[in-house]
Structure 1
């Protein structure tokens, strides 16, 4: 998963790895290929820290190891600080200073507090951060393991009659149903941050379909300690493990092949969607999962290898359909009939595009209903059990990565959730347009659809009972996403 983008920071909290074996932790560390691993102070368990340190080839840092620890990778400087005092200037002993050229500061004492009576939210350490920001020549982003990786907010404070911005981002695993999701965060020198999360139970043997907390140790006790061990076994051998029957043995072995070899395994001879018309691949960017605006629509035509997008760089709630109108007008003028392919499109892209066309471009509603055919590749492959995909999750970026389609630095500089939150802020305060790098957003959306097309091609070229080999790493298409599937 390596990306040439400053620092790849993997953040771990020990309670998320409490039941992980050494083999599982090794798989986790290898998968993320981080430049730096930060162990969050909360729930610190030195046994797990020791295992991570023995496994990792990069620096492993936690706040108890040093008052201030600084790492620089590809021109990006990150300081890990044990106390707010070292940020605000109360402690400046030798060896405890944060360098002047720092880009990111990590401190787990940074957290929000809510007044139970007034419900007002405050930021612990606001004065410390503001004093530090005020005396630096560049805008520093502050990171904290006290809040989840989904936290993204820009606080403001006044210092000596000057207003300073304090971008705060969380690092802790996000809470979901099932296992917590570990965060790997890409940091560049311009302050752009992309967050990628993966469930903690998608490593080691539990990454295999049908293998949970109960089955994984049974496999290990029978000599199957890695996915490669499972892939090399016959179904009959797997059925000798207690609790694994014929169907489960087949599923586990197929999953092991898909992950170990980076390939798609077709389970049926069902025709891949969009055979009737040449497909176009599409992705939309919004202000959230229940959008009030669609501000960017990207379309990729594999026949011509052309990408086109429709972007609203002045998004507003008064005119939320600008990009939609431009997109559907272009589509109708260029294609009498067409097939659109999206990932989870029935639940998101097509659902909201249809709503926006009815509301903001009603003159094209009949065209959309009668001449545009919608296909959901995720629904076909995963929900309808037509294929086993090689990603640790079924998010399209994970599947494409496993197939050999790595993201370039421009596309990896942002992520969908961060883009959505930035648009939410812009809708409230249009002057904050500088918070968003529009060209990076466009590169991100183009990466989405090109990578979706690559996944489609791999699925289409796989045949039932045969594996579609992963493409060479130099065949470059890219993607990352807003949605979690």
Structure 2
């Protein structure tokens, strides 16, 4: 599906980078390769802002410097303002606001408030946003650094007896166990937004497995300032650094090679899952992590280079198993016995497919249990210590991109969480079907399974125990197994 290139917007809140070195910030800027960087006003630290500005080659915007700033990239207009008054208030009316043709408006004064008594939730600035939306020729999407990047909601308001939609998305780092995750969003010309998040501590030396805020300075003080420096070191040299023992030196060096070379490091001679068969790669789209509906199932057959999917374009709680029934009916008719490979499948895809088959296609339950073999590639590679992967995270899209298999603009304009929330809204209000671009959703699912197949192929082709040879002074430059590292 053809798509406009779109805009990659990286959002930074300075406290998320409080422990980041200059090299780590430079690595972050290079990794995201953004078209525009927005630094949130909250927690603004001018030292961090200055480092970002010196490093980045794209525009870097923060409202302390300019109350109103508008950037147009690939015919997509993004306006950043310090106050809601510049959106639909007095300042806007006096000609000092933002252009009516803005596709995206960023303002950190946009945030939700909850009444502690009634528990009703309201949107600060709703009237300002509604006035702006009402007077423009196209629907703008509103972004805010006051709420996490996981926030996604379409508000509605009435202006002059006319209802207007107000899509609002968060930009702030998302809270996870460990470091907050920085958000890089893909903005397209139709208001679609894909969100990619990466932990703030996965840059510079701290991207290496086993390297935290204590070990990173020690490596730098001993002359290992970059991951390439670490990859060029021997284990013996790394063990000479105080606090780094044999196991840690192995882990750090393996990780350095994987990231620096953009390659898979195989640790064992264990056969890759389903290597004796021609596997199918599968991904499901649902309404939540504990789904009440599976509305899209995508399958990729690498041998035929064929993608097929099963999509419910009219999802409802009355018929949540429609896509599942169509999928398993097709699978049974095409494959007497087959192997399915998923990413994190044991904890998600297979777990819920089995449940939906039992509930909505019980006649195929025996076929599924007897003739369909389930393999979880993430579990095999990472949890069972068979391989080291080159992604900053172990998400399949991050690993695939590190291996050189990035997705196109059509697929990048979506992410799984946003799609799930869109389906949640659709289930509550069927008239919201217009919120879903079904063809783009299919492109997103296809990208997932093709990326999964690319990661599988890279793992299968990696030589067990092999890292870049010829490092002077290493005990072994060509390893044959885990214990040789």
Q: Residues 227-275 of structure 1: CA distance to partner in whole angstroms, max 9, x if unpaired?
A: 0110111111111110011111111011001001100000000000012
Q: Residues 395-418 of structure 1: CA distance to partner in whole angstroms, max 9, x if unpaired?
A: 000000000001111111111110
The corresponding residue for 1:27 is 27
Unaligned residue ranges in structure 2 (runs of 5+)? 470-485
Task: Give, in angstroms, the shift of residue 49 of structure 1.
Answer: 0.5
8 Å Cα contact 1:405/1:451 also seen in 2: yes
Alignment of 1:215-254 (within 5 A): 215-254=215-254
8 Å Cα contact 1:140/1:167 also seen in 2: yes
8 Å Cα contact 2:100/2:135 also seen in 1: no
**SS at structure 2 position matched to 1:72:** strand
Alignment of 1:73-472 (within 5 A): 73-92=73-92, 96-467=96-467
Unaligned residue ranges in structure 1 (runs of 5+)? 470-485
8 Å Cα contact 1:461/1:468 also seen in 2: no
**SS at structure 1 position matched to 2:64:** helix
Q: 1:468 to 1:304 in 2, by over 3 A?
A: farther
Structure 2 distance, partners of 1:468, 1:193, is 39
Structure 2 distance, partners of 1:246, 1:158, is 66
Task: Give, in angstroms, the shift of residue 95 of structure 1.
Answer: 7.4
Please, what is the CA RMSD of the aligned residues? 1.3
Task: Give, in angstroms, the shift of residue 314 of structure 1.
Answer: 0.1
Structure 2 distance, partners of 1:71, 1:94, is 21
Structure 2 distance, partners of 1:310, 1:298, is 7
Q: Residues 163-210 of structure 1: CA distance to partner in whole angstroms, max 9, x if unpaired?
A: 111000000000011000000000011000000000001001110011
Structure 2 distance, partners of 1:96, 1:59, is 21
**SS at structure 2 position matched to 1:30:** helix
8 Å Cα contact 1:263/1:468 also seen in 2: no
The corresponding residue for 1:5 is 5
8 Å Cα contact 1:133/1:164 also seen in 2: yes
Q: 1:95 to 1:34 in 2, by over 3 A?
A: farther
The corresponding residue for 2:475 is none
Task: Give, in angstroms, the shift of residue 467 of structure 1.
Answer: 4.8
Task: Give, in angstroms, the shift of residue 100 of structure 1.
Answer: 2.1
Q: Does 1:16 align with 2:16?
A: yes
TM-score, normalised to structure 1's length?
0.95
Structure 2 distance, partners of 1:96, 1:47, is 30
Structure 2 distance, partners of 1:93, 1:368, is 63
TM-score, normalised to structure 2's length?
0.95
Structure 2 distance, partners of 1:88, 1:254, is 54
**SS at structure 1 position matched to 2:414:** coil
Structure 2 distance, partners of 1:321, 1:464, is 42
Structure 1 distance, partners of 2:129, 2:379, is 46
The corresponding residue for 2:472 is none
Structure 2 distance, partners of 1:404, 1:345, is 23
Structure 2 distance, partners of 1:291, 1:448, is 19
Structure 2 distance, partners of 1:376, 1:93, is 57
Structure 2 distance, partners of 1:4, 1:20, is 34
